[in-house]
Amino acid sequence: MRFPWLLVVAAILSSFVTGAGAEGYCPFALPLDPAAGSLRAQGPSAMRVGPGGDIYVASPLKGAIMRFSPTGALVRTTVLSGSADPGARPTIVDFVCGPGDELSVLQVAPRGVSLLGIDLDCSGGQAPPPDPCPGSIIRVRSDGTTCCLARIPSKRGVPRLLDRIESDGQGNLFVHDGFDNGILRFDRSGRMFDCGVFEGFPELALDRTGGFYGALVDAPTPSAAVTVWRVDLASRERKSLAKLKLASPVTFVSILGADSKGQLYVEVAHGPNEQPTGRAVWVVTPGGAVVSQLPVPERPWEFRMSRPRAVIPAGGVLTARVKDGRVLVEPHL
Does pTM surpass 0.75?
A: yes
54 closest CA partner among 8, 98, 95, 101: 101
CA dihedral 31, 36, 40, 45 (to 10 degrees): -50
Residues with Cβ within 8 Å of 227's Cβ and at least 6 positions away in sequence, in order, are 215, 216, 218, 240, 242, 243, 244
Average pLDDT over the chain, rounded to whole? 79
Residue 94 CA to residue 158 CA, distance in Å, equals: 21
Can you give the pLDDT at residue 31?
83
Can you give the pLDDT at residue 319?
92
3-state secondary structure of 12: helix
Can you give the pLDDT at residue 302?
62
**pLDDT band per the 50, 70, 90 thresholds, residue 99:** confident
State the DSSP code for 38. Answer: -
Residue 262 CA to residue 91 CA, distance in Å, equals: 30
Residue 333 CA to residue 261 CA, distance in Å, equals: 15
pLDDT tens digit sequence for 17-76:
333 456 789 999 988 766 656 666 667 888 999 988 999 998 877 788 999 999 999 999
Residue 214 CA to residue 240 CA, distance in Å, equals: 10
Which range of 114-123, 185-194, 294-303, 318-327 scores highest in mean pLDDT? It is 185-194
Q: How far apart are the first and last CA of the chain?
A: 34
> Which ranges constitute the DSSP H helices of the chain?
4-18, 39-42
Instruction: Judge whether 155 and 161 are in contact, CB under 8 Å.
Output: no
Cis before 220 (ω within 30): yes
Least confident of 200-214, 216-230, 239-253: 200-214
Residues with Cβ within 8 Å of 118's Cβ and at least 6 positions away in sequence, in order, are 80, 81, 90, 136, 138, 148
Chain centroid to CA 60: 15
Residue 92 CA to residue 48 CA, distance in Å, equals: 13
State the DSSP code for 29. Answer: E
Residue 254 CA to residue 318 CA, distance in Å, equals: 15
Instruction: Judge whether 193 and 184 are in contact, CB under 8 Å.
Output: yes
Instruction: Judge whether 263 and 315 are in contact, CB under 8 Å.
Output: yes
pLDDT tens digit sequence for 146-181:
889 999 888 777 778 888 899 887 889 999 888 888
